[in-house]
Structure 1
Amino acid sequence: MRTRFARAIATCALLGATVVGVSGPAAQAAVLPSGFAEQIVFNGLNQPTNIEFVADGRIFVAEKGGAIKVFDNLADTTPTVFANLAANVHNQWDRGLLGLTLAPNFPTDPWVYVLYTYDAPPGQNAPYWNDNCNTAPGGANGGNCVVQGRLSRLQANGNAMTGSEQVLIQNWCQQFPSHSIGDLGFGADGKLYVSSGDGASFSAVDYGQFGSPVNPCGDPANQGGALRSQDMRSAADPTQLDGTVLRLEPSTGLAAAGNPNIGSPDLFTRRIVAQGLRNPFRFTMKPGTNEVWLGDVGWNVWEEIDRVVNPTAGVTNFGWPCYEGNSPMASYDNANLPLCESLYTGAGQTAPYFAYNHANDIVPAEGCGTGGDAVGGTAFYPTSGPYPAAYRGALFFADYSRGCIWAMKPAIAGGLPSTSNIELFVKQAAGPVDLEMGPGGELYYADLGGTVRRIRYSPGNQAPVAVINPSQTSGAAPLTVNFNGTGSTDADPADAGRLTYQWDFTNNGSWDSTSATTSFTYSTMGVYTAKLRVTDTLGAFGESTVQIQPGNTAPTAFIDTPAVGLTWKVGDSIAFTGHANDPQQGALPASAISWELRMQHCATVGNCHTHVLQNWSGVAGGSFVGPDHEYPSYLELAMTATDAQSLTNTVVRRLDPQTVHLTFESSPSGLQLSVGSFTGTTPFTREVIPGSTNSVSAPTPQAGQQFSAWSNGGGQTHVITAPTSAASYTATYLPIPEDACPSSAAYQCTTAVAPFAGAANDLGLGGDDNKTQVTLPFAMPFYGNGYSTAWVDTNGVLSFIDPGSSQAVNESLPAVGQPNAAIYPFWDDLVADGQSSIRTETIGAAPYRKYVVEWRNLHPYEGSERVTFSVVLNEDGVITMHYSGIDPALGRDKGDSATVGIENAAGNAALVYSHNQPALVAGKAITYTPPLAPPTNIVTGAVSQTGVGAAPGVTVTLNPVGLHAITDSNGVYTFARVPAGAYTVTAAGACINNASAPVTMDSGTKTVNLTAQSRLDSFGYQCSVTTGTFVGAANQIGLGGDDNTTQVTLPFTFSLYGTGYTSAWIDTNGLVSFVNPGESKAVNESIPGAVLPNAAMYGFWDDFVVDGQSSMRTETVGVAPNRKYVIEWRNVLFYTTNDRVTFSIALGEDGSSTMYYSGIDSTSLRDQGESGTIGIENANGTVALQFSHHQPVLGDGYVIQIWKP
């Protein structure tokens, strides 16, 4: 009796409340623990991606296509459109409006924050692709449909957006159509947290080698693609934001105070608190803390839940793509990429808090399916609420592909979620992509299929779930419909077979039948709602409704093309057409037809999940490109016809790809090879789609073998475009000789017995961890560059660029950290004491001179062994290392803690003879020989700008060797010692469009002159660069200090972007704006940008201080109508450095402007603009002519002219 009584008490609380705001169940009912039930709260949405709750009861829902809708409460069935960003949002594949959050005290703080894929490549404006990448080579997944990510905030006025979108950040270059932008959330500190994906290929190892042109995101070699997630570790280029978590000031989007790298000159580096992420599509903040808990979607093996414990303590690196799960990611490891190799030998990654394998259940025998996985929403249950106490503090997480939600519960009250205490919470969930805790402490989730659902807990008696199965829902009147309610269920065993049924066929409030199965004839046409109420033995009930339309018959859709059975290859253009007929309306117009292209992505044949690739509305046909995707997968083309009464008919045509078998072998057999995400033991076969890109790698060394060649002539790691017929690929290995000396296209390595080469002149360098600079007697060619100076380090290193400090701790090569552009004859922790010396000597006459550097009789730190070695630099680029006094019995003498090799300037290419291996022998020389060419093999020429003349400061590239030269003041460039072959010469500069021309070198001198067209912004402004006399100003103004502005009256009306201005605000930070910026702006951004300042000239926008050695000056020169107003920043100091520069802006009465630069130190990247912005921008921040942003492109005496023809 006590059990029955408790159940009755619970029922009283349920009666009348079981159906509020809730419609019928999913077609496949969710399975939950006892006492829990799933309810649909909102339906009819278009791919909802994010839900946010307001304290006043409202609910904001983001849709993937760009609409944001507001429901007034949980019973509201007609939402208001708050904002529609569709024109800016790129909605294709996994791109779209994905992130949404509200200010913590919304609506008092009335800001709504959005994160979406911006429909334009860098430098372009949306809409550019118009959600259709078919115009890009290879379609959406060909690596050429490049877009960006955008973070913005929108101001709310009630249920509507007011004002314009405020863009906070636009970055996140994304080359491929998945791993796009991520999620948003606020921490307890009030800071805004942002996550993002890597934007890289999901089919192949991607390090920036894809696209036409290759690497359209502009990353350095071997640092693009998925490696953008490690971009903070590549100091040679500006940091990008892909694959990171940011911590921001919500009002500006700038780095939040306290961030780990808040002092960095790189503004993006300042923002990052976590990196090394693949697709952190969703995260949640642990309540009351600043802990970030991320769901990071993996490749083909592991899904991760990652935890950022303290975002201000240091940047957390989760390791992607070098790691996946807890281990190195084999395919990227096997590619021997420098950024990964240095991570393996360095600090490694922060392991995931929890990782699960695609092949395994999370909970044994759970029945969620395995193989295709995509960890999605995450949410913490609060410390109080209606759910049982065991859920307090639990982390709920979902997997979209498996269709399940789990609860990771604390093992002890108040503890962290325990990876050994995971419970399957919802089985057969409907496409969960976002989890949120909602009103009353209940879990809600967004279903990408169009609903928002709630998980309700009702202890004791459970209300039934009503299910209606009608025989038909439309047709000619009179229409007889057979209704079946036997699919209704009740979780309480006591109610099994004891449910009662009530039917209201016309929704007039009266019950028409009490049978489980019944029928009704609708005699007149109209739209009726039939309702079923199912009641249990204690009076709890559930209801469901269905719409019936007598007198109207649904249309019939017909797909005319493509034909049934059509198969496709990657890159095929597939046309589709269709028509529809309706019994009442006849042939339906194209406006009644819509299409959806879906990819069924399968872990194994039959185990698939859905990606919506593209939608078309109001068209009877179109076309798409066969996508590049791994197999097994296939396409579904769905056509929907809708009549005037909103009845629909959908037909689906399955389009299977053609496939081909690629066999991979090794010689000898039994070695490991990687193809895409798969690593296996040879021989093995992979079934792929013809035309697909497949990255292949031959790991080396392995099993005493080193890689020699692929049968197709590709490099150790390269990409195979799958042919249309079966093919075999063999990686040949050779035994590793006892004395291995690797070679590459850049250098050939050889060893030989040779007498020691010493040097005569004591350099005066000694002690522990010291270095000195030397002047070389000739320009030393090294990895395509010429160097006239070098730094000699006591620790056995000769570097051609300043390493900053002596480097005592050796590393594996290549490594992006200093030293770079270096020769390492014996990089170890060495001391030059009183018995030692470091010597140099020049031998021979030009052009056969040699420069010798000798380290004589040095000893290891805290060691007694002594070694002598030298490096001989030859004028033709040959490098030889010599060794003397190597004791064969001492591993330290032989190099067991040393690095021996050479490395390029970017730290992404090297040849390593040995690393911490006892491989050195006295009397044996190691020689590195570049491809030599006669000194007379010269490519030279001049670059000119149309209508301007000579183009100085332009970067000229000679490909495919990748040599670079900068044009001189006359626009002239020169490449010497060019090997015979065919090349392309390309000129690129801030004021010009790229210009290229071919050249074939056989011998002698080849002249290639290039004429480049001017680059114009969308308003018509263009620029040019020359060198000339600096123009300053005479009259000092009362402006100084740090971050200050002053308003000045102009002597004439200055026109900028079609608007005339009579006053301006001069900022100590290198800019002048023609509308009040409100305050000085020390942190520069890329332009254009909606955030102030706008209507501005940026002569050198950086963080400057005008101290006692500096001054700000103005002067009017000339007479009307040719006056100029000159503003000069004289000898201003870079904040936190000792560097100083002088520059000016001359505003012309004719609307032109000229920027002058003086005192630019050729050895200082900061002086040259590495952290500055230069250009002009219109008043609303939508159009700009950006000369540079964080690029060291300035030179002393440079003159930049900007005008509109």
Structure 2
Amino acid sequence: MNRPRLRRSAALVALALVAMSFANAPIVTGATASTTYRPNHLVHFDAGTYTGYKFKASGGIVAAKTATLGRPSTASTRLRTSVVAHPGNWLLMVNGIWAGFYLRESNRTYLPFTRLRAVAFAAGTHTGYKFNAAGSVIAHKTYTLGRASSAHANAQALIGSSTSYLRIVDGIWAGYWVPIGAGVGLRYPPLGAGRLTLGSVVGGLDQPLFVTNAGDATQRLFVVERTGKVRVVSGGVLQSTAFLDLSAKVSCCAGERGLLGLAFHPSFASNLRLFASYTAINGDVILAEYTANAARTSASASTERIILQINHQAYTNHNGGWIGFGPDGYLYIATGDGGGGGDPLGNGQNKNTLLGKMLRIDVNGALPYAIPPTNPFTTGGGAKEVWAWGLRNPWRDSFDRERHDLYIGDVGQNAYEEIDRAAPAVGGQNYGWNVMEGFSCYNASTCVTTGKTLPIAAYAHGTNDSIGCAVTGGYGYRGAGQPALQGHYLFGDYCTGRIWTLYQDENVANLVAQGQFAVNISSFGEAENGEVYLTDLGGTLYHVLVTP
């Protein structure tokens, strides 16, 4: 069985975008300190007097600046870190009075949440505190809860040298800082390392590349086989008859060609419409529509209506292939840069081509499709279908069904893999390829980063690709069966079988290694109930589970 290499020419990732901390693997954060913010994070200041410092690597003070704020104010930081010989967390300011200086995080200088966060209180006795400018307690409130309860917080801060507090805004402790621990914490904290396992669902699949659902309340899973068929898994059983067979139309399996993507119309249950992306016999990338039978048990290749055909005959790799409907009802199409190492065709930064892009079209309007009026180039400057550009080979993308963010897993060249994210209904991003790879300049010591949207997470390949060589984008978990996964984005690496969870919180992506599995992760997918599944190109569909 041929297995595609999803990255290299020879064979073959709003709310603000951010960097992260990482477990057990090299990462790129733009700094070696605790948390780097991409873009910068807002810092709140109470009215009062503050002193900022510049430090030597040894912790010695080389400069200080003191100033008084007559009213509450804000500025921005790009780094939250510890400093040798100085307790607590320190914030490196990038603008305002203390630009270039570090200020200590406290109850008066803290990073507010960009949205209220749910806080869980266990049954028992808890105490909230108010502090003065020196960080000393000036008031407290103690109360015993007869049962578990919840409230909301608008900020978290390290007050003193070792205790983190949440600033509560409602309920019993409104206006008080409550320490995290002893039965108090954010309702959905980041999942710890090594907590995931894979449960086999079915085997016997022919190079499965994707799994999805139809949104028609049947709870069926639809598995895309690279060789041209869409198979159905119902009640944990692989059905013998294909739902859709495009084998005669699909070019497979030179390079990365094949049947690559599948999306059901949001109204599939009533209009019977579904869409597929594949490479044609001549190598072109095809987006086509099909109509299911009235019982929704199958769709015939004879119902095909080609919507879009993109010339892709120079190379057999970097076809992209993911398609999906956004919360806005438009169809999004991810395309690779056309193949070859380093983007020799120059498609990534060329806004007038349809390769190396995220496209957005309206399949509910005029035939073969209409252009959404809010696409960035409707009046010129680029192809009207283009929603975002600067992508190398976006391999598996998704929308968060709760927050509606778009996540893109973009496969790198020889050094870095990345996860990109866009806020709901925000287009026009340039994700950097082939000027940048991850957070770094590609094939250059310096490059122009102005106007580029940096990833929220990136990881280095490691020695001999020991960490990975081809990212597989995943999904944000929004199911009910595994509460510990709630709000976490899962993704992996095709080459090494590693899986990570990424917990989005403010301007920080908390990236945690969940282990290495004996699979070639060709895709993740989402069931109707929000459960996340994984396809192994070797032929097995797995359910991603949290260990007790």
Give the TM-score range, shorter chain. 0.5 to 0.7
Q: Residue 286 and residue 355 in structure 1: after superposition, are their counterparts in 2 closer, same or farther (change >3 A)?
A: same
Distance (whole Å) between structure 2 residues aligned to residue 424 and residue 396 of structure 1: 10
- Choose from 213, 217, 230 the match for 1:53: 213
- Choose from 476, 486, 493 the match for 1:399: 493
Aligned-pair identity in percent equals 31
Alignment of structure 1 residues 859-898 onto 2, 5 Å: none
Do structure 1's residue 357 and structure 2's residue 460 form an aligned pair? yes
Distance (whole Å) between structure 2 residues aligned to residue 206 and residue 259 of structure 1: 25
Aligned to 1:387: 482
Distance (whole Å) between structure 1 residues aligned to residue 455 and residue 547 of structure 2: 35
Q: Residue 351 and residue 75 in structure 1: after superposition, are their counterparts in 2 closer, same or farther (change >3 A)?
A: closer
- Choose from 259, 265, 281 the match for 1:103: 265
Q: Residue 264 and residue 175 in structure 1: after superposition, are their counterparts in 2 closer, same or farther (change >3 A)?
A: same
Please give the TM-score of this superposition, normalised by the length of structure 1: 0.28
Letter in 1 for 2:400: K
Deviation string for 1:528-555 (max 9, x for gaps)?
Answer: xxxxxxxxxxxxxxxxxxxxxxxxxxxx
Asked if 2 retains the 8 angstrom alpha-carbon contact of 1:276 and 1:319, the reply is yes
- What SS is found at the alignment partner of 1:86? coil
- What SS is found at the alignment partner of 1:229? coil
Letter in 1 for 2:292: A
Alignment of structure 1 residues 129-148 onto 2, 5 Å: 147-148=283-284
Distance (whole Å) between structure 2 residues aligned to residue 79 and residue 453 of structure 1: 19
Deviation string for 1:802-855 (max 9, x for gaps)?
Answer: xxxxxxxxxxxxxxxxxxxxxxxxxxxxxxxxxxxxxxxxxxxxxxxxxxxxxx
Alignment of structure 1 residues 708-787 onto 2, 5 Å: none
Q: Residue 35 and residue 264 in structure 1: after superposition, are their counterparts in 2 closer, same or farther (change >3 A)?
A: closer
Q: Residue 290 and residue 247 in structure 1: after superposition, are their counterparts in 2 closer, same or farther (change >3 A)?
A: farther
Deviation string for 1:238-297 (max 9, x for gaps)?
Answer: x2210000111123433223212223397xx11111101101011111224553210000
Do structure 1's residue 159 and structure 2's residue 297 form an aligned pair? yes
- What SS is found at the alignment partner of 2:499? strand
Letter in 2 for 1:83: L
Distance (whole Å) between structure 1 residues aligned to residue 448 and residue 209 of structure 2: 40
The gaps in structure 2 that reach 5 residues or longer are: 1-191
Alignment of structure 1 residues 365-764 onto 2, 5 Å: 370=466, 372-382=468-478, 385-389=480-484, 391-411=485-505, 418-419=508-509, 421-438=510-527, 440-457=529-546, 459=548
Deviation at 1:206, TM superposition (A): 4.9
Deviation at 1:326, TM superposition (A): 1.8
Distance (whole Å) between structure 1 residues aligned to residue 236 and residue 380 of structure 2: 50
- What SS is found at the alignment partner of 1:250? coil
Distance (whole Å) between structure 1 residues aligned to residue 198 and residue 280 of structure 2: 35
Distance (whole Å) between structure 2 residues aligned to residue 63 and residue 401 of structure 1: 19
Aligned to 1:887: none
- Choose from 345, 350, 368 the match for 1:231: 350
Deviation at 1:346, TM superposition (A): 8.1
Deviation string for 1:736-768 (max 9, x for gaps)?
Answer: xxxxxxxxxxxxxxxxxxxxxxxxxxxxxxxxx
- What SS is found at the alignment partner of 1:282? strand
Aligned to 2:149: none
Distance (whole Å) between structure 1 residues aligned to residue 438 and residue 235 of structure 2: 39
- What SS is found at the alignment partner of 1:231? coil
- What SS is found at the alignment partner of 2:349? helix
Do structure 1's residue 193 and structure 2's residue 306 form an aligned pair? no
Letter in 2 for 1:259: N
Asked if 2 retains the 8 angstrom alpha-carbon contact of 1:377 and 1:432, the reply is no
Asked if 1 retains the 8 angstrom alpha-carbon contact of 2:196 and 2:544, the reply is yes
Do structure 1's residue 150 and structure 2's residue 286 form an aligned pair? yes
Asked if 1 retains the 8 angstrom alpha-carbon contact of 2:265 and 2:273, the reply is yes
- What SS is found at the alignment partner of 1:264? coil
Aligned to 2:369: 253
- What SS is found at the alignment partner of 2:205? coil
Asked if 2 retains the 8 angstrom alpha-carbon contact of 1:386 and 1:457, the reply is no
Asked if 1 retains the 8 angstrom alpha-carbon contact of 2:491 and 2:524, the reply is yes
Distance (whole Å) between structure 2 residues aligned to residue 247 and residue 165 of structure 1: 20
Q: Residue 90 and residue 301 in structure 1: after superposition, are their counterparts in 2 closer, same or farther (change >3 A)?
A: same
Alignment of structure 1 residues 253-332 onto 2, 5 Å: 253-264=369-380, 269-312=383-426, 314-330=427-443
Distance (whole Å) between structure 1 residues aligned to residue 326 and residue 199 of structure 2: 30
Deviation at 1:429, TM superposition (A): 4.5
Q: Residue 253 and residue 74 in structure 1: after superposition, are their counterparts in 2 closer, same or farther (change >3 A)?
A: farther
Distance (whole Å) between structure 2 residues aligned to residue 172 and residue 350 of structure 1: 27
Deviation at 1:439, TM superposition (A): 5.1
Distance (whole Å) between structure 2 residues aligned to residue 347 and residue 95 of structure 1: 34
Deviation string for 1:125-172 (max 9, x for gaps)?
Answer: xxxxxxxxxxxxxxxxxxxxxx21111111111222145211110014
- What SS is found at the alignment partner of 1:108? helix
Do structure 1's residue 67 and structure 2's residue 224 form an aligned pair? no
Asked if 2 retains the 8 angstrom alpha-carbon contact of 1:229 and 1:241, the reply is no
Higher relative contact order (CA 8 A, sep 6+): 2
* Higher Rg: 1
Deviation at 1:453, TM superposition (A): 0.6
Distance (whole Å) between structure 1 residues aligned to residue 287 and residue 526 of structure 2: 24
Question: How many aligned residue pairs are there?
Answer: 348
Aligned to 2:318: 179
Distance (whole Å) between structure 2 residues aligned to residue 249 and residue 400 of structure 1: 32
Deviation at 1:425, TM superposition (A): 2.5
Distance (whole Å) between structure 1 residues aligned to residue 527 and residue 376 of structure 2: 33
- What SS is found at the alignment partner of 2:397? strand
Deviation string for 1:386-418 (max 9, x for gaps)?
Answer: 2234x221110111112111111244xxx57x4
Aligned to 2:156: none
Alignment of structure 1 residues 1122-1137 onto 2, 5 Å: none
Q: CA RMSD in A?
A: 2.6
Letter in 2 for 1:190: G
Distance (whole Å) between structure 2 residues aligned to residue 35 and residue 228 of structure 1: 40
Deviation at 1:116, TM superposition (A): 1.1
The gaps in structure 1 that reach 5 residues or longer are: 1-31, 121-146, 208-224, 233-238, 335-343, 361-367, 460-1205
Q: Residue 289 and residue 166 in structure 1: after superposition, are their counterparts in 2 closer, same or farther (change >3 A)?
A: farther
Distance (whole Å) between structure 2 residues aligned to residue 457 and residue 173 of structure 1: 40
Q: Residue 172 and residue 287 in structure 1: after superposition, are their counterparts in 2 closer, same or farther (change >3 A)?
A: farther
Deviation string for 1:899-924 (max 9, x for gaps)?
Answer: xxxxxxxxxxxxxxxxxxxxxxxxxx
